[in-house]
Amino acid sequence: MGEAAQTFPKAFAVRFAQINRWDPNSFHGIKWHWLSSVMAPIGSVLKPRKEKVDRSGNGFTTLMPVTIHFDGSIEPRKVSEDKEYTMELFWARPGDIVVSKIDLKNGAVAIIPDGWDKAVVTNHFAVYEPHLEKIDPRYFHLLIQAKFFKEHLWRNKVGAEGRKEVKLDFFESLEFPIPPLPIQQKIVAHWEAAQFKANTDINRAKDTAKSIPALLTKALGLKKLGAAHDKRAFVLSWQEIERWGVELAREMSRRPNIEMSPFPVVSLSDVIADLQNGWSPKCLTRPAIGDEWGVLKVGAVSFGWFDERQNKALPPNLKPREQYEVKPGDLIISRANIARYVGACALVDKVRPKLMLCDKIFRVVWKEESPVLPKYLDEILKIPHLRWQIENNLTGASPTMKNISKPALMALRFPLPPLHIQEEIISEIEEKRKKARNLQDDAKISQKQAGLEIEKMILGTHPVEAH
């Protein structure tokens, strides 16, 4: 349990008068390193608020029920427009601390944000008004989210299996350090500075990743794809109209000009031998485990990378079709899904044995002397100019299941530089992705380090003044 917990050996003795619960775990407390004069019960800095909502003067649609997550975040609860709560509701005012009774054991404690003047909760929550002359709510929130404190709450849950919770009287009786407000604010400031740095790195990583399609587009000499115009009257030539419809005609106004590239323009059928789709038998509802065969789901490719966990186990009474087994080096393409995921592709790097393609996923069959690098084709299929071609060739009446035919995919057109230029482009893309990963890793390290430092400050083992 580390330096935060007061631990006991496997066998230990206590006086009967010390036993509040018949549970050895409840004796594992928290080792605070503050003077006793700084310690006080949680209940001494929180005042319960039980302010019932007058439903006669407040229609339900004007109110904002809330949801609190285990990480202490809070958001408005989604309630269908045709539904409303029949149980009693209570106000939670901006700045109040709200506790989810059933999930307090997991750290579900949040602060009502400024401007949430209509926030309400049911009786499944407890609302407290913090004594601001004693406690900074942000400091209190950091305490609740500290790993050692959440572990302590978890150890002290009681009740029937499946409905165990931390009782509010126990929660309010817990002693914790309440240093002077300037010290609390220094701890909060240290955390916020670390979060700002981490968020900056995360945003830079996202921006770097988002710039990759533009990098490829620029390298191929293509213009950025614009938005469809919104003019009420416009003119198109007959050659530009493939299907009848005003919205379709508007979309044709932004049709990408692939031919402007200085490189030769080819069709997919010019550079690959074929597209092979798999087999979709009725499978088990769980993923394949151990030595079982499995069949990929479309989710294995939906987000532009290969996720082998997205599969279903083949029933033992069915014989696998080994010709559809996925291998490292395969480029796979979704042929059916919601519109934005049709044509999603991924290059398989590593894959467990005995996973087969489903019939909604194509595999590229390469030519012996292929003029296109698999990594280049994987990237080019993701740029807006190719996405436009894919999404304008979809079929299917259902908005949740669109399709693209094999001939439509084989007809996709794109610039094809020589192999050495493809390699240069891919090298630059991979360098960008490496930079994005490094930024994300730095953010995770910063957050983890800050979390450890904050916990030590709250425990009293790390001097706050050092920061």
In a domain, 369, yes or no: yes
What's the domain range around 328? 260-416
The domain total for the chain is 2
Count CB-CB contacts under 10 A for residue 70: 14
What are the per-10-residue average pLDDT scores of the chain (467 residues)? 52 63 66 94 97 90 94 92 87 97 96 96 96 97 95 91 90 96 95 92 90 90 71 56 53 77 96 96 96 96 94 96 96 95 96 96 95 96 94 90 96 97 95 92 90 93 73
Beta strands in 69-113 (DSSP E): 74-76, 90-91, 97-100, 109-111
Give the type of residue at 209: A
In a domain, 148, yes or no: no
Residue-level pLDDT at 163:
85
Distance of CA 206 to the CA centre of its chain: 13
For residue 366, CA distances in Å to 370, 374, 377, 378, 415 come to: 7, 9, 11, 13, 18
In a shared domain, residues 134 and 275: no
In a shared domain, residues 173 and 305: no
In a shared domain, residues 133 and 276: no
Reported as a single tens digit per residue, the pLDDT across 336-364 is 999 999 999 999 999 999 999 999 999 99
Give 413's strand partners.
267
In a domain, 400, yes or no: yes
Angle between helices 181-219 and 384-391 (to 10 degrees): 70
Its pTM stands at: 0.70
In a domain, 119, yes or no: yes
In a domain, 234, yes or no: no
In a shared domain, residues 174 and 279: no
In a domain, 236, yes or no: no
In a domain, 398, yes or no: yes
In a shared domain, residues 280 and 171: no
Q: How many CA atoms lie within 13 A of 216 on its CB side?
A: 30
In a shared domain, residues 270 and 412: yes
Give the type of residue at 312: K
CA dihedral 360, 365, 370, 371 (to 10 degrees): -20
Phi, psi angle pair for 313, to nearest 5° = -70, 135
Instruction: Judge residue 87's burial from the number of C-beta atoms within 10 Å of its C-beta, 0-12 exposed, 13-18 middle, 19 or more buried.
Output: exposed
Reported as a single tens digit per residue, the pLDDT across 149-161 is 999 999 999 988 8
CATH for 46: 3.90.220.20
Count CB-CB contacts under 10 A for residue 52: 10
In a shared domain, residues 269 and 165: no
In a shared domain, residues 75 and 172: yes
In a shared domain, residues 294 and 169: no
In a domain, 317, yes or no: yes
In a shared domain, residues 304 and 409: yes
In a shared domain, residues 123 and 8: yes
